[in-house]
Amino acid sequence: MKKAVIIFSGGQDSTTCLYWARNHFDEIEAITFNYGQKHSIELECSKQICKKNNIKQTIIDISFLNTIVESALISNGNVNKLNSKGLPDSFVPNRNQLFITLAHSYAQKIGAESLITGTCETDFSGYPDCRRIFIDSIEIASNLGSQSNIQILTPLMYLNKAETFELADSLGYLDEIINESHTCYNGDREHLHEWGFGCDNCPACDLRKKGFYEFKNLYNENN
Amino acid sequence: MKKAVIIFSGGQDSTTCLYWARNHFDEIEAITFNYGQKHSIELECSKQICKKNNIKQTIIDISFLNTIVESALISNGNVNKLNSKGLPDSFVPNRNQLFITLAHSYAQKIGAESLITGTCETDFSGYPDCRRIFIDSIEIASNLGSQSNIQILTPLMYLNKAETFELADSLGYLDEIINESHTCYNGDREHLHEWGFGCDNCPACDLRKKGFYEFKNLYNENN
Report CA-CA distances (Å) from B223 to B17, B167, B169, B177.
25, 16, 14, 21
C-beta atoms of A140 and B144 within 8 A: no
CATH number at residue B51: 3.40.50.620
DSSP tag of B58:
E
Give the confidence band of B150 by pLDDT, cuts at 50, 70, 90: very high
Helical H segments across chain B, by residue range:
12-24, 41-53, 65-68, 95-110, 132-146, 161-171, 174-180, 203-222
Instruction: Determine whether B86 is exposed, middle or buried from the number of CB atoms within 10 Å of its CB (0-12, 13-18, 19+).
Output: exposed
Domain assignment present for A150: yes
List of chain B residues whose C-beta atoms are within 8 Å of the C-beta of residue A85: 147
Q: Which of B84, B138, B148, B154 to mutate to test the interface with A (most CBs of A within 10 A)?
A: B138
State how far the Cα of B109 lies from the Cα of A105, in Å rounded to an integer.
Answer: 26
Q: What percent of chain A has pLDDT over 70?
A: 87
Contact between A101 and B98 using a beta-carbon 8 Å cutoff: yes
Q: Please answer yes or no on whether A87 and B133 come within 8 Å at the CB atom.
A: no
| C-alpha count within 13 angstroms, C-beta hemisphere, residue A100 | 33
Asked if B81 and B50 touch (Cβ cutoff 8 Å), the reply is no
The answer to whether the CB of A98 falls within 8 A of the CB of A68 is no
Ranges A16-30, A54-68, A123-137, B123-137, most confident: A16-30
In a domain, A163, yes or no: yes
Structural domain includes residue B151: yes
Question: To which H or E segment does residue B189 belong?
Answer: none
Distance CA B17, CA B2 (A): 16
Using CA coordinates, name the residue in chain B closest to A145.
Answer: B129
Closest Cα in chain A, distance from residue B51 (Å): 20
The whole domain housing B65 covers: 3-160
Task: Assess if residue A63 is contained within a domain.
Answer: yes
Sort out which chain B residues have CB atoms less than 8 A from A68's CB and list them: 31, 58, 60, 102, 105-106, 109
Q: Is residue B148 part of a domain?
A: yes
Supply the mean pLDDT for chain A.
Answer: 88
Q: Quick one: pLDDT band at residue A69, thresholds 50, 70, 90?
A: low
Which chain A residue shows the shortest CA-CA distance from B91? A146
pLDDT of res. A72: 45
Q: Identify whether A222 is part of a domain.
A: no
Q: Between helices B95-110 and A132-146, what is the axis angle to 10°? A: 130
Give backbone dihedrals phi and psi of A183, rounded to 5 degrees, phi first: -130, -40
- B75 compared with A28, residue with greater pLDDT: A28
Contact B68 A141 (CB under 8 A): no
- Greater confidence (A75 vs A21) lies with A21
- Cα dist from B79 to B74, B102, B153, whole Å: 10, 26, 28
Which residue in chain B is spatially nearest to A70 when comparing CA positions?
Answer: B109
pLDDT digits (tens, 9 = 90+) for A8-67: 999 999 999 999 999 899 999 999 998 776 668 999 999 999 999 999 999 998 887 777
Quick: pLDDT tens for A105-123. 999 989 999 999 999 987 6
Residue B88: DSSP 8-state = B
Q: With respect to residue A179, please indicate whether it lies within any of the assigned structural domains.
A: yes
Question: pLDDT at residue B9 above 50?
Answer: yes
Contact call for B105 and A68, based on CB within 8 A? yes
Contact B146/A129, CB-based, under 8 Å?
A: yes
Q: Which of B85, B96, B101 sits opposite A97 (nearest CB)?
A: B101
**Which of residues B88 and A6 earns the better pLDDT score?**
A6
Quick one: which of A71, A83, A142 has its CA closest to B141? Answer: A142
- Interchain contact, B101 vs A106, CB within 8 Å: no
pLDDT at residue B70, rounded to an integer: 56
Judge whether A36 and A66 are in contact, CB under 8 Å. Answer: yes
Chain-chain contact of A146 with B128 (C-beta, under 8 angstroms): yes
Chain A contacts of B60, Cβ < 8 Å?
A: 64, 67-68
Containing H/E element for B125?
none
Considering CB atoms only, which of A67, A134, A148 is closest to B145? A134
Report, as an integer, the average pLDDT of A55-84.
Answer: 67
How many Cβ atoms are within 10 Å of B45's Cβ, its own excluded?
Answer: 21
CA distance linking residue A184 with residue B33, whole number of Å? 34
B77 vs B58: which has the higher pLDDT: B58
Asked if B62 has any chain A CB less than 8 Å from its own CB, the reply is yes
Angle between helix B95-110 and helix B132-146 axes, rounded to 10 deg: 40
This prediction's pTM: 0.88
Report strand pairing: A114-116 vs B114-116: unpaired
* Coil/strand/helix, residue B205: helix
Residue A159 has pLDDT above 90, yes or no: yes
Residue A147 backbone zone (phi > 0: left; psi -120 to 50: alpha; other: beta): left
Q: Which of A27-41, A88-102, A139-153, B66-80 has the lowest mean pLDDT?
A: B66-80
Q: Give mean pLDDT, residues B116-133.
A: 85
Q: Distance between CA A117 and CA B180 in Å, rounded?
A: 44
pLDDT of residue B75 exceeding 50? no
CA-based nearest distance B221→chain A, Å = 38
Q: Which H, E and C letters describe chain A, residue by residue?
A: CCEEEEECCCCHHHHHHHHHHHHHCCEEEEEEEECCCCCCHHHHHHHHHHHHCCCEEEEEECCCHHHHCCCCCCCCCCCCCECCCCCECCCCCCHHHHHHHHHHHHHHHHCCCEEECCCCCCCCCCCHHHCHHHHHHHHHHHHHHHCCCCEEECCCCCCCHHHHHHHHHHHCCHHHHHHHCCCCCCCCCCCEECCEECCCCCHHHHHHHHHHHHHHHHHHHHC
pLDDT of residue B218: 80
For the segment B156-200, what is each residue's pLDDT rounded down to a tens digit? Answer: 999 999 999 999 999 999 999 999 999 998 999 999 999 999 999
Q: How confident is the model at residue B72 (pLDDT cuts 50, 70, 90)?
A: very low
Torsional class of B160: left (φ above 0), alpha (ψ -120 to 50), beta (otherwise): beta
Query: Measured between alpha carbons, how far apart are the two ends of chain A, in Å?
Result: 38
Q: Do A58 and B69 touch (CB under 8 A)?
A: no
Angstrom CA distances, A61 to A31, A38, A65, A99, A182, stand at 11, 14, 9, 11, 19
Domains in chain A, number = 1
Residues from chain A contacting residue B61 (CB–CB below 8 Å): 64
What whole-number distance in Å separates Cα of residue A41 and Cα of residue B142? 30
DSSP state of B73: T
The reply to whether A196 falls in a domain is: no
